[in-house]
Structure 1
Amino acid sequence: MQVKQVVTIAGIDSSGGAGVNADVKTFHNQKVYGATIITGLTAQNTYGVQAITTTPPDFILKQFDSVFSDLEISAAKTGALFSKEQVEAVIQGIKKYRPKHLVVDPVMVAKGGAKLLTDDAIEKVKIELFPLAELITPNLDETEVLVGYPVDTEEKIHQALFDLQAMGAANVLIKGGHLKGSKVIDSLLTANGSITTYTANRTNTKRTHGTGDTLSSYIVAHLAQNENLLDIMPKAKLFISKAIKEEINVGHGHGPLNHWIKG
């Protein structure tokens, strides 16, 4: 049986809810084969991150060589990259192998508040990694760090979309889950300059750990299957909403999504 193959370039969540763990679960759910390039390890649970160990840059590059020299990778995504050295290694690997589709999820802070990307690494991501991306998927907090001003209104979100696109990414998705209100609105700016919004009812729950990872990996799975981004997004939004709404009882803090759902 022929199967599309994708790779996540990110860190491991030892409690299983976010990072590479969420990516691989989503890939499996969406029937693509998921490989991994590990940028770091976390001692982590639903309360937060207790410790981080980063992967040596040369070992990141060895993982790139192992994966891309053997597997037929149709799409890739990045998650937590931790430091400038890890970012540089990932950029080098991406430039060497040039996956057809690249989604960059600029993960900066874990749910519990732990910093997952240093300040100098953020600059490297903006200047060198974003221009390689077909899509970037920051949440509102990450967007504010990237653009340097508050993003708390529809007007500011639209301004931020264009400012982020100017950094080099073809398409920009700003996730609106951190704004208060009964609706969660995500905003997509495509390469042709058009903005589309995707709205869902907010679920009153603290079981949202790994939401961003799951959304970006869902998109990667469908880009690998040669689907158009505008066709993918409504399905992705529905999948995330359902994974949050159909809760599973895991952990005592910010619990993980339900990756068993159909969608």
Structure 2
Amino acid sequence: MNTKNYQYPSVLTIAGFDGSGGAGIQADIKTISALGCYATSALTALPVQNTQGVRAVYPIPYRVVEEQIETILDDIFPNAIKIGMVHTGELVYTITDTLARYPDVPVVFDPVMVATSGDTLIEDKTIATIVERLFPLAAVITPNMDEAAILAEMPVRTLDNMHYAGEKIRKLGCRSILLKGGHLDSQRLTSLYFDTQGNVHEFSFDKLETNNTHGSGCTLSSAIASYIALGDSFLEAVVKGQEYVHQAILHGCDVLAGKGNGPLNHFFNPQQLTKYGLA
């Protein structure tokens, strides 16, 4: 019988489904795997969608979500957790009540609140529950400019707006925030990371002219969780996560996959599954 001397760094993703493979739990699993971690998952909803949009959403019973999370935590305990869209207050309570028993696991939360069309996806009371329950639980939250505008209750269109909005959101109880600047009207896109000490770090990338960005937010939050699982600090994980997403978009710019907004190339430079020695 072979002796088991090693373990994989694992990341649990709690998110919705995307049958087209570009976003949601599929993008999360691809990202976590491409970065050398072991992916586990708990499904929160079953959207029927492709690269052109969402046709319907079928919810997963809350008790089933709870059982999925508990079953994974009982067996393959994660080094980090990524949470995607939570569309109801009841789902927020289900997730936070379950994870509250494991306060030492770093959580990366992608607060998906606004569709590409600009429509708000969740109700105000759900947003309030997210702020009250999920924000204190999360090590890093990753809102885009539209989501930051909702959370800060102000327009967020410029870099100056982002600085001000980030400070307002930080006071809502977040430990750290990566405010993504992908919607800035400029050829140079800037994101801001407000760290646990209140410092602000600025990151800029050249804008890539492509519509193959479906799932970029899911991918970024999963990449940050993966780097945390691999032992990086929150700041290091944020830096590496952004670079990974930039390269994944760059290497997928010239690919036709679907008739709408295409996916990233998650496997532009896949890493071997990492193993580390058991204590």
* TM-score w.r.t. length of structure 1: 0.95
Match of residue 63 from structure 1: 68
Q: Tell me the CA shift for residue 166 of structure 1.
A: 1.0
Match of residue 6 from structure 1: 11
- The aligned runs of 1:1-263 (5 Å cut-off) are 1-111=6-116, 116-247=121-252, 248-262=255-269
Counterpart Cα distance in 2 of 1:250 and 1:110: 20
Asked whether the equivalents of residues 103 and 133 of structure 1 are also in contact (C-alpha less than 8 Å), the reply is yes
Report the secondary structure of 1:13's partner residue: coil
Q: Deviations over 1:191-235 (max 9, x none)?
A: 111111111101101110000110110000010111112222332
- Aligned sequence identity (%): 35
Q: Tell me the CA shift for residue 190 of structure 1.
A: 0.5
Counterpart Cα distance in 2 of 1:166 and 1:18: 30
Residues 201 and 246 (structure 1), Cα distance of their counterparts in 2 relative to 1, 3 Å cut: same
Q: Deviations over 1:72-99 (max 9, x none)?
A: 2111011011111111111111112335
Counterpart Cα distance in 2 of 1:116 and 1:28: 29
Higher RCO structure, 1 or 2 (CA under 8 Å, sep 6+)? 2
Asked whether the equivalents of residues 200 and 237 of structure 1 are also in contact (C-alpha less than 8 Å), the reply is no
| Structure with bigger gyration radius | 2
Counterpart Cα distance in 1 of 2:163 and 2:143: 14
* TM-score w.r.t. length of structure 2: 0.90
Report the secondary structure of 1:231's partner residue: helix
Consecutive unaligned residues of structure 2, counting only runs of 5 or more, are 1-5, 271-279
Residue 129 of structure 1 aligns to which amino acid in structure 2?
Answer: L
Asked whether the equivalents of residues 170 and 177 of structure 2 are also in contact (C-alpha less than 8 Å), the reply is yes
Q: Deviations over 1:3-54 (max 9, x none)?
A: 1111011101121110111100000001111111111010011111110011
For these two proteins, the number of residue pairs brought into alignment is 263
Asked whether the equivalents of residues 48 and 112 of structure 1 are also in contact (C-alpha less than 8 Å), the reply is no
Which is richer in helix?
A: 1
